[in-house]
Structure 1
Amino acid sequence: MSSTTRVSDLPDTYRKALKTWRPVILYFANEHCPACEWAGPVFREIAEPYRLRANIYMLNTSQSPRHPLVTGTPTVLFYKDGRLVKKLKGIGSEETLEADFARHIGRTKAPVVVQKPRHDLPWLRRTLSRLCTITRAHRRVI
């Protein structure tokens, strides 16, 4: 991240959004900005294939808390592991934005989670050995 801005200096909403293993993309726009009217649909179209591999947020600057790195709109901030890796003032062309998404998100995979075994074989064997069929149960009663 920038040397002047630390994660601890950000508002709570941004700090919570950045606490993830997935890449985070923050897109800042304003409804009164002519460039944002053109850039919004382009950003959505390019971001759609990456929505399962990254957390992508489209934020309205008049409704969201102020981010210290956003001085104008549209602005795109790419974060990875809670650190700023790229800042775009404007989105550039479709090709350059697509290249930035591919470069910063790439082939992100979820961390491997060790799962406990689904079947407890000793418990199953004990349960099956104690199980009585109807005919065996009837013999025991008599």
Structure 2
Amino acid sequence: MSEIHLNDATFDKEVLEYKGVVLVDFWAPWCGPCRMLGPVIEELASEYEGKAKICKINTDDAAEKSTQYRIASIPTILFFKDGELKKQLMGLQSKEELKKQLDALL
């Protein structure tokens, strides 16, 4: 399974109303570190299929949610559980760190 692409209109349903763990990658196509993180996000989507929802949201297309969550730099990764924000990581992260955060919430 591939990651779920969100926008301002789908964010609440896919993330805040979801019962379970969700990783949301705030990114943009012009961001070098974001592009480096892309393959890692895709791998996590496959590895955590059925356990956690792995999502991406393009900050250029989602100004409302980027503002709401005070996204000051990208990539920024938000972790939610049962619709509640649990953790925020800024900057390029290793796959191991992202797995550690996901596993802690599962």
TM-score range normalised by the length of the shorter chain: 0.7 to 0.9
CA RMSD in angstroms comes to 1.8
Task: Tell me the CA shift for residue 29 of structure 1.
Answer: 0.7
What residue is the counterpart of 1:49 in the other structure? 47
Runs of 4+ in 1 over 3 A off after TM superposition: none
| Distance (Å, rounded) in 1 between the aligned partners of 2:30 and 2:82 | 32
| Distance (Å, rounded) in 1 between the aligned partners of 2:63 and 2:49 | 23
Matched, 1:16 2:13: yes
Counterpart of 1:45, as a letter, is: E
| Distance (Å, rounded) in 2 between the aligned partners of 1:73 and 1:22 | 24
Structure 2: gaps of 5 or more residues:
1-7
TM-score of the superposed pair, with normalisation by structure 1: 0.59
Q: Are the aligned partners of 2:74 and 2:91 in contact in 1 as well (CA < 8 Å)?
A: yes
1:12/1:58 CA distance change after superposition, 3 Å: closer
TM-score of the superposed pair, with normalisation by structure 2: 0.76
Q: Are the aligned partners of 2:34 and 2:92 in contact in 1 as well (CA < 8 Å)?
A: no
Paired residues in the alignment total 95
What residue is the counterpart of 1:98 in the other structure? 99
Structure 1: gaps of 5 or more residues:
1-10, 107-142
Alignment of 1:66-77 (within 5 A): 66-67=64-65, 68-69=68-69, 70-77=71-78
What residue is the counterpart of 1:115 in the other structure? none
Counterpart of 2:33, as a letter, is: A
1:48/1:90 CA distance change after superposition, 3 Å: farther
1:30 to 15, 28, 31: 28
1:98/1:84 CA distance change after superposition, 3 Å: same
| Distance (Å, rounded) in 1 between the aligned partners of 2:51 and 2:9 | 23
SS in 1 for 2:51: coil
Q: Are the aligned partners of 1:27 and 1:57 in contact in 2 as well (CA < 8 Å)?
A: yes
Larger Rg: 1
1:65/1:51 CA distance change after superposition, 3 Å: farther
